[in-house]
Amino acid sequence: MAWNPSEIPDQTGRTFVITGANGGLGKHTTRVLAGKGATVVMACRNTTTAQQVADGIDGDVRVAALDLADLASVREFAERTGEFDVLINNAGLMNIPFSRTKDGFETQWGVNHLGHFALTGLLLDRIGDRIVTLSSVAHAMTPKLWIDDLNYEHRRYQRNLAYSQAKLSNLMFARELQRRLAESGSRKRSYAVHPGMAATDLFTRTETFTDRIAKPVIAVIGHSPTHAAESSLFAATTPDADPDT
């Protein structure tokens, strides 16, 4: 079924928290939701850039500091946050050189999955409606999840595989959260969404040889951020969206 963001109902009175909202899909998602009357909290590591983006968007848009690579920052953000309606776990890193988060985790897994996992858990009692987590079809590119070596201490680090492992973790988390919410009788819902192949700054920041070759192709055939954000917007705002599809 075709869907268009123009179908989004009025969001006045609803508050959305969006991680990584200062660029790419998060920026466009913020703009659309604010245009529909929502209050949007841009949860970003770089608050200077985020504030510049917020200043250029009409509506009730606020900026809050959140570094998903630092679990202390995640806890501090959660402590400052009151009740709201929708959490969109949008922030992400892709195919970066090996590094570790402040807490010692491999960065792609630590930021893309663990930071969002911790954030969602800390905020769950304050979320009134739903959680939307951005995954990716890239989850299928890893043969399995190496639970016993998530930090690449005993195997060679591969950027693409690390990204796939993080995206698989996102998908497993979102689906298991939905199962538990449904089992408990909660009216809250958890969605995993795939934005498609998008020509965003997430992709243009990658440095592998394969990615450098692919970038011109993605620029031509990839979805624009406007189009790619539609899956998040649909899941976040459609009253009867099925979390199991």
Question: What are the domain boundaries of the chain?
Answer: 10-237
191 classed as catalytic: no
Residue 60, Cα to own-chain centre: how many angstroms? 21
Of residues 204 and 114, more confidence is placed in: 114
Q: Is the per-residue pLDDT at 209 higher than 70?
A: no
How far apart (Å, rounded) are the C-alpha atoms in residues 208 and 98?
A: 12
Is residue 189 within a helix (H) or strand (E), and if so which, with residue range?
Answer: strand 189-193
**Tokens read off for 173:** 């988390």
What mean pLDDT is predicted for residues 32-61?
A: 99
Q: Is the per-residue pLDDT at 136 higher than 80?
A: no
Closest CA to 40 of 65, 13, 9, 61: 61
Q: What is the mean pLDDT of the chain?
A: 89
How far apart (Å, rounded) are the C-alpha atoms in residues 74 and 85?
A: 18
Place of tokens 């998060």: 26
Place of tokens 């606020």: 62
Q: Is the per-residue pLDDT at 222 higher than 50?
A: no
In the beta sheet, which residues pair with residue 51? Answer: none
* pLDDT tens digits, one per residue of 184-208: 999 999 999 998 655 445 544 555 5
Instruction: Name the pTM for this structure.
Output: 0.89
> Which among 137-141, 177-181, 216-220 has the top mean pLDDT?
177-181
- Which of 47-56, 126-135, 225-234 is predicted least confidently? 225-234
Three-state DSSP at 183 gives helix
* pLDDT tens digits, one per residue of 50-107: 999 999 999 999 999 999 999 999 999 999 999 999 999 999 999 999 999 999 999 9
The predicted structure's pLDDT at residue 227: 85
Catalytic residue among 152, 157, 163, 191: 163
Q: In the CATH scheme, what is the code of domain 10-237? A: 3.40.50.720
